[in-house]
A and B are shown apart, each in its own frame.
Chain A
Amino acid sequence: MKETIRKLVETFGPSGYEHQVSALIKQEIADLADEVRTDTLGNLIALKKGDGTGKKIMLSAHMDEIGVIVSYVDEKGFLRINPIGGVRTLYEVMGRVLFEDGTVGVIGVEKLDKPDQIPPMDKLYVDVGATSRQDCPVKLGDVGCFWQPMVEVGDYLTAKAMDDRIGCAVLVQAMRDLESTPHDVYFVFSTQEEVGLRGAMTSAYGIKPDLGVAVDVTLSGDTPEPVVKMATALGKGPAIKVKDGGMLATPWVKDWMVKTAEANDIPYQLEVLVGGTTDARAIQTTQAGIPTGCLSIPCRYVHSPSETVGYQDVLNGVRLMVAMLSGPVEM
């Protein structure tokens, strides 16, 4: 599964520009789905049919990652950038940006008013080695992602875009491992989550499932003086969401996920996330409302180029998802 993860996280795909990720996933799942389609907003929707006795279940993991869009190219060929999604300049300065055509640039910073200040976005620029506006290979409106290759750190995997390619990887692997299901399962690889759950909104409206489950990363509270005090830790299993900043998981869905984990001896943790939300919120509030839960992979350094997850949590996340889909659901 590590190779799938590597391919997924190293692919270019900021919000609205997920087509390379979509093409890769399409290839990976070619023989695993009964139907595959792409909708208006670019969501990749794969249906695995059940035996007719189950429910209509929508699973969603988002393909997009945070990134930047070029807002200006100056006379010397330096780029100015605006953020796509929740970009924190502190995490990106002197890092690298990858553009769609393969061009790589360094994120530089102007002299700051105070040396210990966190630089505002308009003090950053990208250096792609151009010497003038004319010879700059990147144009206004071009989109870039932050660039780092994946590395293994102990039992952990570190890369850009774990948020949420790791969710995509869990769904791809679940499709591979799922032997049979009573349910019609819609595996949705969604777009534009980082700019407001946009892909999940329209795909959930179109599918109108009986039940929804998003797969996304959550924060981890197990580092020195963590940003947020949180009970989640790497290596203690996938997290079952109780609440985040935008959603209260439907209680019986959460309970069903817990019971399934316990019945199958899969380690799990409960998650209460103070801020942020996932595709689950969009699914839950579509049409007349859908019972919805969320399976989370705890992740350190979220929205940085070194997002870090525990590999065992990922494998156990797949096991839990497969177990959830393999049996009937009492609604």
Chain B
Amino acid sequence: MILEALSNAFGPSGCEDQVCQIVIDAIKDHVDEYRIDHLGNVIAFRKGTANPGFKVMVAAHMDEVGFMITHADESGMLHFVKVGGIDDRTLPAKVVRIGAKRMPGVLVSKPVHLTLRNERNKVIPSDQLVIDVGATSRAEAEKLFTKGEYAVFDTAFEEWGELVKGKAFDDRVGCAVLVELVARGPYPFDFYPVFTTMEEVGLRGARVAGYSVMPDAAFVLEGTICDDGPKDKDLSPTTEVGKGPAISVMDRSVIADRRLVRLALETAEAEGIPYQFKQPGKGGTDAGAIHLAQTGVPTVPISVPSRYIHSPVSVLGKSDFDNTVRLMVSTLQRLTPDVVAERD
């Protein structure tokens, strides 16, 4: 499963090179050409079997949330800033890997024996946390890292029966789905698979990739918020594991193109593929940047529900992965220029 290699790869925003290499190795025999643009986006192209000039972009982002080391203090502890949105509650006592050498370190945490009762109810802000790499002085620590090096959570991919667990499923699962889509091409249009950079810090790669490709329609593949655990009243989960790909109608970044939403729904119904709606209004994706490229692009996000994203560990269902691939392949095979020719 390519998701394993992608999940284990080191790739915080702005440092996606390792993910980029895995992606290129996986797609290069199935595309006519590919290039890496100035922001590090991988932009590939496969000529279509029909409708020449009708351009469809499918995007997934390669970057994950992580940390950047800012300096060492006198006691040899490393200070850092967060790269992307990480919940401070998830940080203490987690192991990270730092820089090119993948040096291990641990985010410090006071043992429960020593914490005062009121401390246990408080979240420690990330700017008060440091990383312990075993150094005992600033000089010793500075031999181990360079300022500006990145760190990511140290979480190994594992199969858990029907589920898989790993880090960075947001959005390595999107990358894995997109690699599958490339392998199952060609499609009846000019296909632009795009693996973007720096999504977690503001959709930056997608902004320039959308501008340069300027497609006639776009899909964004994501590993999205999933909160299907117990709730104290009858309220909606954002998405649920096992119920199929999640189709977005609206999130903070985009109001999805209704024609593409309809195409995905009709395809799912016709092919008997399970699907769910992502709860409207939550989260944002590369679609927010792509749909505003130049004179505008009809765009819809489609996601694999992934529990615990933006934390050291994420969990998703294999069947959701397979059904997302099925839904996307079938939807793309039905996508013709007249679907987006006129607004209704």
Contact = CB atoms under 8 A, between A and B. Distances in A.
From DSSP, what is the main secondary structure of chain B's interface residues? loop
Nearest to A110: B233
Interface string B48-67: 00000000000000000000
B249 A141 contact: yes
B145 interface: no
Contacts of A84: 250, 281
Interface string A199-236: 00111011000000000000000000000000000000
A72 B281 contact: no
Given A19-B344, A84-B250, A69 B280 contact: yes
A13 interface: no
B295 A39 contact: yes
Interface in B238-254: 249-250
A48 interface: no
Contact of A69 (B281, B295, B342, B344): B281
Given A69-B281, A71-B236, 14 more contacts: A16-B255, A38-B343, A40-B297, A40-B343, A42-B343, A72-B279, A82-B279, A82-B281, A140-B280, A192-B255, A198-B255, A202-B292, A202-B294, A202-B296
A202 B295 contact: yes
A140 B279 CA distance: 8
Contacts of B296: 39-41, 202-203, 206
Interface residues of B, number: 22
Interface in B19-49: none
Contacts of B280: 69-71, 82, 140-141
Interface centre among B250, B279, B297 (most CB of A within 10 A): B250
A15 B250 CA distance: 10
Contacts of A140: 236, 277, 279-280
B234 A74 contact: yes
B317 to A, nearest CB: 21
Interface of A: 15-16, 19, 38-42, 69-72, 74-75, 80, 82-84, 122, 140-141, 192, 195, 198, 201-203, 205-206
A69 B343 CA distance: 21
Interface class of chain A by DSSP: mixed
Nearest to B279: A71
Interface in B211-237: 234-236
Contacts of B298: 40
A256 B31 CA distance: 55
Contacts of B297: 40
B250 A41 contact: no
B344 A72 contact: no
B343 A195 contact: no
B326 interface: no
B33 to A, nearest CB: 26
